[in-house]
């Protein structure tokens, strides 16, 4: 980019030079802007990241986190890490990998109050004016029934024992082992309302690659939408108010409904 603003002592630009310089600036700015925004858009697209407790929704988190690392310094277990260049994660933001070091759910949550920008929102981990790690929502544990050995019939309750909310976030259910006919299957079940996503279960899991693992809630959970309502649940019925479509878009058949069982298609006609 050549000088497009004349500096002291520089001779005045001709109109042609001025216009060319302007055009060159526009070209460079758009090229730079395109590359830059494309890159930023890509690196912030990673959705499989577990954030510290109290983190805002990922979109808001990315705009609010200033990448100072104070949550990382506050963490006494070295659970939290700052994404480095080359980690393929949004650079400079805090995350944790439970299989390596899970969140040990400190009752005083040292990582949250130190956040200078509110990207870790203290109010989201507070009940009745007191910090409460049990309401944290870092993710949700998911069980792969195929590789979980408890579902094979081998007795294992490592995840259940490791869970800091034992019996609430993970419980063990009994069923009959149909293969042997005389044994019980004792299989773990995750309760999504109680699970904080701390990952202690994932850390404890005995299989080579964890059969129970934590995913961010947006990744782990589906969304039924407002077309399906639990009519027997008064609270759920309220969601009807969100339903927006009032007209049906598929055309209703013009033929009148017929009793298909009595309509034998004329095969009995003489």
20 versus 172: smaller Cβ distance to other proteins? 20
Q: Does 1 contact other proteins by CB under 8 A?
A: yes
Strand, coil or helix: what is 126? strand
Q: Does 92 contact other proteins by CB under 8 A?
A: yes
Round to whole Å and give the CA distance between 201 and 59: 27
Tokens 């870790």, located at residue:
120
CB of 45 to other proteins, least distance (A): 10
CB of 227 to other proteins, least distance (A): 30
Q: Does 20 contact other proteins by CB under 8 A?
A: no
Task: List the one residue from 12, 16, 59, 234 that touches other proteins (CB under 8 A).
Answer: 59
Q: Does 18 contact other proteins by CB under 8 A?
A: no
Q: Does 267 contact other proteins by CB under 8 A?
A: no
Q: Does 258 contact other proteins by CB under 8 A?
A: no
Q: Does 72 contact other proteins by CB under 8 A?
A: yes
**3-class secondary structure for 2-67?**
CCCCCCCCCCCCCHHHHHHHHHHHHHHHHHHHHHHHHHHHHHCCCCCCCCCCCECCHHHHHHHCCC
29 versus 219: smaller Cβ distance to other proteins? 29
Q: Does 106 contact other proteins by CB under 8 A?
A: no
Task: List the one residue from 19, 29, 189, 221 that touches other proteins (CB under 8 A).
Answer: 29
Q: Return all residues near 49 (Cβ < 8 A) that are at least 6 apart.
A: 58, 89, 90, 93, 95, 216
Q: Return all residues near 85 (Cβ < 8 A) that are at least 6 apart.
A: 91
Q: Does 10 contact other proteins by CB under 8 A?
A: no
Sign of the CA dihedral running 57, 61, 64, 69: positive
Round to whole Å and give the CA distance between 123 and 131: 8
DSSP 8-state class, residue 229:
-
Task: List the one residue from 13, 20, 46, 64 that touches other proteins (CB under 8 A).
Answer: 64
Q: What are the Cα distances from residue 25, in Å, to 7, 13, 36? A: 16, 15, 16
Q: Does 11 contact other proteins by CB under 8 A?
A: no
CB of 30 to other proteins, least distance (A): 9
CB of 52 to other proteins, least distance (A): 14
Relative to beta strand 170-176, strand 140-143 is unpaired
Distance, C-alpha 269 to centroid of its chain? 63
Task: List the one residue from 22, 47, 48, 87 that touches other proteins (CB under 8 A).
Answer: 87
Task: List the one residue from 44, 126, 134, 171 that touches other proteins (CB under 8 A).
Answer: 44
Q: Does 107 contact other proteins by CB under 8 A?
A: no
Q: Which residues bind other proteins (CB under 8 A)?
A: 1-5, 7-9, 25, 28-29, 32-33, 36-37, 39-41, 43-44, 59-60, 62-64, 66-70, 72-73, 81-82, 84-87, 90-92, 114, 116-118
């Amino acid at each position: 980019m050549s000088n497009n603003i004349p500096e002291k002592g520089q001779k005045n630009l001709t109109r042609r030079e001025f216009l060319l310089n302007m055009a060159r600036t526009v070209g460079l700015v758009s090229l730079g802007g395109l590359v830059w925004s494309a890159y930023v858009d890509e690196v912030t697209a990673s959705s499989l990241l577990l954030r510290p407790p109290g983190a805002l929704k990922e979109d808001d988190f990315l705009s609010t986190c200033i990448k100072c690392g104070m949550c990382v310094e506050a963490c006494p277990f070295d659970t939290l890490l700052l994404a480095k260049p080359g980690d393929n994660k949004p650079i400079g933001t805090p995350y944790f990998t439970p299989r390596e070091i899970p969140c040990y759910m400190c009752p005083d949550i040292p990582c949250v109050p130190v956040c200078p920008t509110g990207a870790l929102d203290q109010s989201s981990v507070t009940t009745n004016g007191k910090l409460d790690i049990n309401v944290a929502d870092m993710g949700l544990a998911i069980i792969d029934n195929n590789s979980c050995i408890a579902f094979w019939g081998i007795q294992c309750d490592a995840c259940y024992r490791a869970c800091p909310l034992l019996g609430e976030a993970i419980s063990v259910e009994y069923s009959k082992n149909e293969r042997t006919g005389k044994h019980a299957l004792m299989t773990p079940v995750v309760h999504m309302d109680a699970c904080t996503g701390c990952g202690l279960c994932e850390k404890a899991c005995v299989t080579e690659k964890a059969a129970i693992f934590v995913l961010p809630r947006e990744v782990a959970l589906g969304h039924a939408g407002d077309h399906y309502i639990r009519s027997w649940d008064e609270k759920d019925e309220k969601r009807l108010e969100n339903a927006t479509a009032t007209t049906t878009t598929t055309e209703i058949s013009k033929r009148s409904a017929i009793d298909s069982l009595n309509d034998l298609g004329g095969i009995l006609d003489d």
